[in-house]
């Protein structure tokens, strides 16, 4: 009884002294993120001269789909790297990990923590095992691989320490709590009858919400989100609509987790400094509606959807690119990033760009499980180095509308500037329209009046200058 009291006091003290450590790095200063990492400059007219962290390892886009580990002169991982990994691990566990209990032949409880994944994810599990110094072996089949540990003392000294500091943020939070408390009781020699043992085993993962505990959503952080994305996220392409998408899915019982992710992203992730002014202003104007939560499907699954191209390109993509990934989901992200570049530059309107998009679409996400992945890097480079068609100063949807109007009025594919561009008296572009009619509707006048002011160059409504071309 004395030991049990001391353990509880110890846990209570640990809980009280752990600080809230979201570690949301200065997003506009990400080049100073880690001195051991290389800098990489995205060669794009959309993100000019933006220095982004190139992670400590990369995926080579070749036939063998090899993940290459970068040599690190300092084998002693620094505290920041380990803390970020622990946060990532908790997010990844919230999506794909398990805490569970089994009864052995002598009716003793055995405690397990680990993962069962597709065999293609072996490199990820190897990374987890190495980072944790986990004394476990892999169990493999032709399609799956499992990494688990059942050594109570190791679990208590390592996994409990990590998950108490960086807690789960789905309803797995309750599973972990019940699993941990049962382990503490077991380590302290608490005895159970057979009925109690079965009850403990069966209630660990019953999705029961414990009214005396609240999931600490205020502990949300960038690396937890990344880990959760690598487990539950999906990078989508939509060739019919010429857009990219990104979503994170969960059962409706974890709807509050998705709401917490949405709130965290909108409050902490911002457009990069290089975002063109017109696009940035539109992003900020529509900021709160940039992420949408779907209704549950027939299986009770809901999605957190990110579908606005400019928001994805200037907010989500650079943030995710600045973080260190650990699973093969990074390859999907890189392919998705390439797709995004093609669309944002308007290169999907070319034969080479269109063909590359088809190739990517046949190799991304689940299509990559058993397919012979074959996208040579030189094909990607050849397309991305083509002359840009779209105007990088304009929102993606406006570029698309202009291109469509141009196609309707002209059989060739040469890009010309059409539409209405509204400037203030200092020649600063403040809004754009795809044609005279939408401009007239906005200003509550006739399209002929819009055309007149464009032609004569006079000041419109005492404060605007209207143009049908985009000024440099």
Structural tokens at position 344: 């944002």
How far apart CA 14 and CA 85 sit, in angstroms, is: 21
| Cα 273 from chain centre | 20
Domain final residue, candidates 198, 219, 240: 219
Domain assignment present for residue 228? The answer is: no
Per-residue pLDDT band at 69 (split at 50, 70, 90): very low
Domain assignment present for residue 232? The answer is: no
Q: Which residue pairs, CB below 8 angstroms and at least 24 apart, start in 68-74?
A: 72/36, 73/36, 74/36
| Cα 212 from chain centre | 31
Domain assignment present for residue 58? The answer is: no
Domain assignment present for residue 271? The answer is: no
Domain assignment present for residue 409? The answer is: yes
At residue 192, the pLDDT reads: 73
Domain final residue, candidates 201, 219, 237: 219
Instruction: Tell the residue number behind the tokens 């949300």, with chain if given.
Output: 220
CB 471 within 8 A of CB 427: yes
At residue 270, the pLDDT reads: 96
pLDDT higher than threshold 80 for residue 224: yes
What CATH number corresponds to the domain at position 152? 3.10.28.10
| Torsion sign across C-alpha atoms 458, 460, 464, 467 | negative
At residue 76, the pLDDT reads: 53
At residue 410, the pLDDT reads: 54
Least confident of 35-39, 190-194, 212-216, 432-436: 35-39
Per-residue pLDDT band at 189 (split at 50, 70, 90): confident
How many structural domains does the chain have?
2
Domain assignment present for residue 188? The answer is: yes
Residue 98 — φ and ψ, nearest 5°?
Answer: -145, 140
How far apart CA 402 and CA 421 sit, in angstroms, is: 12
pLDDT higher than threshold 60 for residue 249: yes
Domain final residue, candidates 219, 234, 256: 219
Domain hosting 407: range is: 396-467
Per-residue pLDDT band at 209 (split at 50, 70, 90): confident
How far apart CA 87 and CA 83 sit, in angstroms, is: 6
CB 111 within 8 A of CB 152: yes
- Please give the DSSP secondary-structure letter assigned to residue 71: P
Structural tokens at position 81: 């790297």
At residue 211, the pLDDT reads: 85
Beta strand segments in 273-379, E? 291-293, 301-306
Domain assignment present for residue 319? The answer is: no
Nearest to 101 by CA among 110, 113, 91: 110
Give Cβ neighbours of residue 255 (< 8 Å, ≥ 6 apart).
Answer: 293, 302
How high is the mean pLDDT of the chain?
80
Greatest mean pLDDT among 259-263, 373-377, 406-410: 259-263
Nearest to 87 by CA among 149, 25, 142: 25
Domain assignment present for residue 421? The answer is: yes
Give Cβ neighbours of residue 155 (< 8 Å, ≥ 6 apart).
Answer: 111, 113, 149, 183
């Amino acid at each position: 009884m004395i030991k049990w009291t001391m353990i509880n006091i110890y846990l209570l003290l640990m809980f009280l002294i752990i600080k809230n450590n979201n570690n949301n790095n200065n997003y506009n200063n990400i080049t100073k993120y880690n001195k051991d990492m290389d800098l990489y400059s995205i060669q794009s007219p959309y993100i000019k001269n933006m220095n982004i962290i190139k992670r400590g390892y990369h995926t080579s886009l070749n036939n063998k789909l090899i993940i290459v580990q970068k040599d690190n002169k300092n084998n002693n991982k620094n505290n920041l790297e380990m803390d970020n990994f622990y946060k990532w691990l908790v997010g990844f566990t919230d999506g794909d990990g398990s805490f569970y209990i089994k009864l052995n032949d002598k009716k003793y409880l055995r405690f397990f923590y680990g993962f069962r994944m597709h065999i293609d994810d072996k490199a990820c599990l190897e990374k987890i095992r190495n980072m944790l110094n986990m004394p476990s072996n892999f169990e493999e089949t032709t399609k799956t691989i499992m990494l688990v540990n059942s050594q109570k003392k190791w679990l208590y000294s390592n996994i409990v320490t990590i998950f108490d500091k960086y807690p789960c943020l789905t309803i797995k939070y309750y599973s972990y709590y019940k699993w941990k408390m049962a382990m503490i009781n077991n380590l302290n020699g608490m005895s159970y009858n057979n009925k109690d043992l079965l009850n403990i085993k069966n209630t660990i993962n019953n999705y029961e919400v414990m009214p005396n505990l609240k999931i600490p959503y205020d502990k949300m952080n960038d690396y937890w989100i990344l880990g959760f994305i690598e487990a539950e996220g999906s990078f989508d392409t939509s060739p019919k609509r010429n857009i990219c998408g990104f979503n994170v899915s969960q059962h409706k019982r974890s709807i509050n987790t998705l709401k917490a992710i949405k709130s965290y992203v909108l409050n902490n992730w911002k457009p990069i400094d290089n975002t063109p002014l017109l696009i940035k202003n539109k992003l900020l104007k529509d900021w709160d509606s940039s992420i949408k939560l779907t209704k549950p499907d027939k299986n009770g699954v809901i999605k957190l959807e990110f579908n606005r191209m400019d928001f994805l390109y200037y907010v989500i993509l650079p943030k995710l690119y600045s973080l260190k990934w650990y699973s093969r989901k990074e390859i999907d992200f890189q392919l998705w990033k390439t797709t995004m570049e093609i669309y944002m530059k308007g290169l999907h309107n070319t034969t080479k760009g269109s063909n590359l998009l088809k190739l990517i679409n046949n190799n991304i996400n689940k299509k990559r499980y058993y397919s012979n992945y074959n996208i040579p890097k030189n094909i990607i480079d050849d397309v991305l180095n083509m002359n840009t068609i779209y105007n990088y100063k304009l929102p993606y949807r406006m570029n698309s509308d202009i291109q469509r109007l141009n196609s309707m009025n002209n059989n060739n594919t040469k890009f010309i500037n059409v539409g209405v561009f509204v400037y203030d008296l200092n020649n600063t572009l403040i809004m754009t329209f795809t044609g005279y009619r939408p401009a007239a509707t906005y200003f509550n006048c006739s399209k002929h009046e819009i055309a007149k002011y464009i032609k004569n160059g006079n000041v419109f409504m005492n404060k605007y200058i209207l143009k049908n071309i985009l000024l440099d």
